């Protein structure tokens, strides 16, 4: 057929699909007035507009129509002859992209079938002039919540497997690993919630360090620096790994780390060793720090408790922190008090 109906003629020139559906025994139904100035054909057209996305009006034509949905007489004659329709039938014609045309014809049949069952469950939009138009289908009891305005999307097993394979590690699996490293539950929860979980794994892959100590630096020391208007996120991953490498080598002591993190969070471009040197927090050689431990024992304290006296002396020795290995100094002080 060489269509002469303007809309169909234009679609034919553009190479779009033109298709029709013959509906038996409903002749005259589409021309029935259902609202002021609105025919049942407008109801079908509204559904096609929303669900099939054919929104250039008129988006359908039918045999026997007059006015908006009317076919050119020669087109109607040819369509009736091709489909074998008679006066009791109606033939609906739509044009557009192939997939949308298929959806439009299916939706036409659905809406005509619903007309034999009663008023469909749908949401309608009010229009000026006192009439309403189709907006969307109301969900049934099984919906929670598919998109009613879009066709279903098939998720292939291959795509599901790809998505499953690229998903991040679940938090409970991360926590199990951290607890397996000997980390406390509190620090494990904090590390998982922070941006440093991946960095922790990288640090430990380069050489094992005490899990709680690493987590304390990345969680508590970084948080303390942030609260004091520092920016620990500005410290690059390479800089963090360098810090832990220095701790691993013994070039720095753990006691100096909170201040080092605070200082570098305010000056991300600085060097760990430079900061430690300026703050006098570089580790002292054992022949140097042992006399300091002996000297601090001569300072009297008010506490008669051995543990309290050791804590006070350790506080004096850790000014500034990082010079003296805290564990060894504490052991020497405790042994001296016992003897």
**pLDDT tens profile 257-300:** 999 999 999 988 889 999 998 988 888 777 777 777 666 666 66
Rounded to two decimals, the pTM is 0.51
Burial state string for 183-221 with b = 16 or more CB within 10 A and e = fewer than 16: beeebbebbbebebbebbeebeeeeebebbebbbbbbeb
Cα separation of 152 and 155, whole Å? 9
Give the model's confidence band at 334: pLDDT under 50 very low, under 70 low, under 90 confident, else very high.
Answer: low
Say whether pLDDT at 339 is over 60.
no
Q: What percent of the chain has pLDDT over 70?
A: 87
On whether the CB atoms of residues 94 and 60 are closer than 8 A, the answer is: yes
Say whether pLDDT at 242 is over 70.
yes
Within 10 angstroms of residue 48's Cβ, the number of other Cβ atoms is 27
Say whether pLDDT at 216 is over 90.
yes
Least confident stretch, 20-34, 89-103, 127-141, 317-331 = 317-331
Cα separation of 217 and 233, whole Å? 13
Give the model's confidence band at 129: pLDDT under 50 very low, under 70 low, under 90 confident, else very high.
Answer: confident
* β-bridge mates for residue 33, sequence order: 39
| pLDDT tens per residue, range 64-101 | 999 899 999 999 999 999 999 998 999 999 999 999 99
Mean pLDDT, residues 35-61 taken together: 93
The helix-helix angle for 197-205 and 185-193 (nearest 10°) equals: 110
pLDDT of residue 338: 62
**Bigger pLDDT: 321 vs 28:** 28
């Amino acid at each position: 057929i060489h269509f002469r109906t303007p809309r169909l003629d234009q679609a034919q020139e553009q190479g779009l699909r033109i298709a029709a559906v013959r509906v038996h025994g409903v002749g005259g139904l589409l021309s029935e007035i259902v609202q002021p100035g609105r025919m049942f054909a407008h109801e079908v057209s509204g559904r096609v507009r929303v669900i099939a996305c054919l929104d250039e009006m008129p988006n359908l034509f039918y045999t026997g129509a007059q006015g908006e949905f009317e076919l050119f007489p020669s087109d109607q004659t040819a369509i009736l002859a091709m489909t074998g329709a008679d006066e009791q039938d109606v033939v609906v014609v739509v044009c557009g992209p192939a997939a949308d045309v298929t959806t439009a014809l299916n939706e036409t049949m659905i809406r005509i079938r619903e007309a034999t069952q009663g008023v469909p469950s749908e949401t309608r939009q009010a229009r000026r002039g006192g009439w309403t138009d189709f907006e969307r289908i109301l969900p049934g009891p099984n919906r929670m919540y598919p998109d009613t305005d879009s066709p279903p999307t098939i998720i292939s097993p291959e795509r599901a497997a790809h998505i499953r394979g690229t998903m991040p590690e679940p938090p409970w699996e991360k926590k199990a690993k951290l607890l397996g490293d000997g980390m406390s539950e509190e620090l494990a929860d904090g590390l998982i919630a922070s941006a440093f979980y991946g960095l922790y794994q990288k640090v430990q892959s380069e050489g094992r360090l005490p899990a709680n100590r690493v987590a304390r630096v990345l969680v508590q020391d970084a948080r303390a620096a942030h609260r004091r208007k520092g920016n620990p996120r500005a410290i690059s991953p390479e800089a963090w790994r360098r810090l832990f490498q220095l701790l691993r080598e013994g070039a720095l002591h753990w006691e100096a780390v909170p201040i080092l993190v605070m200082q570098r969070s305010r000056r991300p471009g600085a060097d760990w060793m430079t900061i430690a040197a300026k703050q006098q927090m570089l580790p002292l050689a054992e022949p140097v720090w042992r006399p300091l431990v002996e000297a601090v024992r001569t300072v009297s304290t008010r506490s008669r408790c051995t543990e309290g006296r050791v804590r006070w002396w350790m506080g004096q020795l850790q000014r500034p922190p990082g010079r003296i290995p805290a564990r060894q100094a504490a052991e020497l002080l405790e042994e001296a008090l016992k003897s």
